Structure 1
Amino acid sequence: MNEPIARLRTLRSVAVRTPRAGDAAEFYREVWGLTEVESDTGVSWLRGTGEEHHILEVRQAAQNALGKIAFSVGSPREVDEAAKRLAGRGIPLVAEPGRLDQAGHGYGLRFADPEGRLIEISCDVEAVTPQDPGGLPAVPRKLAHVVLNTVDIDAAAEFYTGVLGMRVSDWSEHQMVFLRCNRDHHVIAFNSAAWTSVNHMAYEMPSIDHFMRGIGRLRHHGLTPLWGPGRHGPGNNTFSYFADPAGLVCEYTSEVQQVEEDAWLCRVWRRVPELSDLWGTAGPPSKDVRAHMAGVPDPGRWWEC
């Protein structure tokens, strides 16, 4: 039996592609609470208050799409070993192991999953000074998770567990699967859908107080939640969903459940309002929320175009 290609440590960052990159970058910088660390023509890299050089890349493109998802590993040797294991599985590399040509650089490689999503694993990314991640400002600390729409949820779960070594934390019936690579209940989740696309991206706030004050700040900017605030059953995390100027869904979250590996039991949750929102404050997601989360069909493999 093939071993996973690497031991993933954390979800590092997500990149999105959109025709409204300038407007979206301004929103994440001026309203959402991220800090721009670098920019170039048509692309911005933004960080939270934690240790990652950047957690979001926003790049100009013809349509809304996923650019890539980046995970951390411990050393260049692990990156090189991952390349060998990918070759052994017949999975071609999009970028060979080497210095990454992007803000923060680092040493890494890239390859595609079965639905054409670009995955990066990296180490030795440039260090930044943590910006008091538990301090007073109600701004995100890190990228908490990315939820992806998939046309084959079983194949997606099999690839991300078998190849990337993730573990299944929970299922929401056979509609969603929640995957972890560390103690966080999930860093990736898949939602069964009619087409492949980004469902939403979630940013972790240091506490529930920061979470609520962040929602308040967005209200002062004239933005009300698409759904929330509430608390999910799977993951036990708080949630409040918004749409950025590009129409991509972004979430504030806090208090993500921490998994004890030896004691954790995967469960299958029923898809009922009282479990999608334990507080009962948000109600079920509306048709508008579901339309935003469906996104537009994303064929992936943009680097081949």
Structure 2
Amino acid sequence: MRSLRAVSLHTPRATESAEFYSEVWGLTPVERGDGAAWLRGTGQEHHILELHEAERNALGKIVFSVGDRREVDTAARRLAAHGTRPLAGPGVLDQPGGGYGLRFADPEGRLVELSCEVEAVVPGDPEGRAAIPRKLAHVVLNTVDIDAACAFYTQVLGMRISDWSEHRMAFLRCNNDHHAIAFNQAEWTSLNHVAYEMTSIDHFMRGIGRLRHHDRLPLWGPGRHGPGNNTFSYFADPAGLVCEYTSEVDQVQEDTWLCRTWRRTPALSDLWGTAGPPSTDVRTRMAGIPDPGHRGTPA
């Protein structure tokens, strides 16, 4: 896998959420459908967020990019060798942005897509002046078995563990970014939050300021995490799902990086000391609701 490309969210408030992510959060709509919307950042990805109307909040899918069709086909064979049957593909993807890829469910039922040849777009802010997200930074997932989740994503999908937060969180990478996904040990499987990368800490702070002008105050932050060393400020979208602005994530040098285990303390969850520990409200929102996923269902 080359990078985290996009995330799809299901919500009963898709229309309101699409307005929030375009008019307040800073993404640009690229396509709309029946109860669905696709939005992009300022980077080259066709879209980084999909929203679909549904009865309840849930993770739709996580999308990773791969280099070419050969890598997609190789991934399909590796998945089959581990007993994971694709739900769709390998083949041409019938979706906005197109592409060639495959979809499958991970051991907890999350739908994962690997794709290549997806339509690219011209960067939306080539001079990098706008305080709006450049790309999807990471997705944090609640898991009932952090060891099994890490084993699947490292042994089958080829990701690498950058750091641990005790034995409660694991941060996994697929390129030099410290983490593209993270797993949080929890009581049920669900989406924890989605993070969007701002170009710099100045863009990060100006983005927070824009949300304040829209009467949107952070649930937690601004601050700077220990694992990943990235800045953070968490908000809630109209559906109650947690979204994050972040910047300055650690860049991993493979030959010298040492995976470490961080203690779970307020001082390490916020190195600046500006945000304090997450409140009960933040933890409840990040816990979400149980998500049965796509076990055995068509993609």
| CA deviations over 1:77-122 (Å, ceiling 9, x no partner) | 1111221222222211100211111110100000010000000000
Q: Which residue of 1 aligns with 2:281?
A: 288
User: Structure 1 residues 122, 237: CA separation in 2 closer, same or farther (over 3 Å shift)?
Assistant: same
| CA deviations over 1:136-164 (Å, ceiling 9, x no partner) | 21100000000000000010011100111
Percent of aligned positions that are identical: 74
Conservation of the 8 A alpha-carbon contact between 2:38 and 2:50: yes
Unaligned runs of 5+ in 2: none
RMSD over equivalenced CA pairs, Å: 1.1
Cα distance in 1 between the residues matched to 2:248 and 2:83: 39
| CA deviations over 1:229-265 (Å, ceiling 9, x no partner) | 0000000000000000000000000000000001000
Any residues of structure 2 matched to 1:77-156 within 5 Å, and which? Answer: 77-132=70-125, 134-156=127-149
Of 155, 180, 186 in structure 1, the residue corresponding to residue 179 of structure 2 is: 186
User: Structure 1 residues 197, 78: CA separation in 2 closer, same or farther (over 3 Å shift)?
Assistant: same
Q: Does the residue aligned with 1:304 lie in a helix, a strand or coil?
A: coil
Superposition deviation, residue 132 in structure 1: 2.3
Conservation of the 8 A alpha-carbon contact between 2:76 and 2:90: yes
Asked if 1:54 corresponds to 2:47, the answer is yes
TM-score, normalised relative to structure 1: 0.96
Unaligned runs of 5+ in 1: 1-7
Cα distance in 2 between the residues matched to 1:84 and 1:303: 19
Any residues of structure 2 matched to 1:158-237 within 5 Å, and which? Answer: 158-237=151-230
Conservation of the 8 A alpha-carbon contact between 1:97 and 1:109: yes
Cα distance in 1 between the residues matched to 2:20 and 2:84: 37
TM-score, normalised relative to structure 2: 0.98
Conservation of the 8 A alpha-carbon contact between 2:75 and 2:157: no
Superposition deviation, residue 133 in structure 1: 5.2
Cα distance in 2 between the residues matched to 1:127 and 1:143: 15
Superposition deviation, residue 304 in structure 1: 2.2
Asked if 1:270 corresponds to 2:263, the answer is yes
Superposition deviation, residue 303 in structure 1: 7.4
| CA deviations over 1:186-206 (Å, ceiling 9, x no partner) | 000000000100000000000
Of 230, 235, 242 in structure 2, the residue corresponding to residue 249 of structure 1 is: 242
Q: Which residue of 1 aligns with 2:231?
A: 238
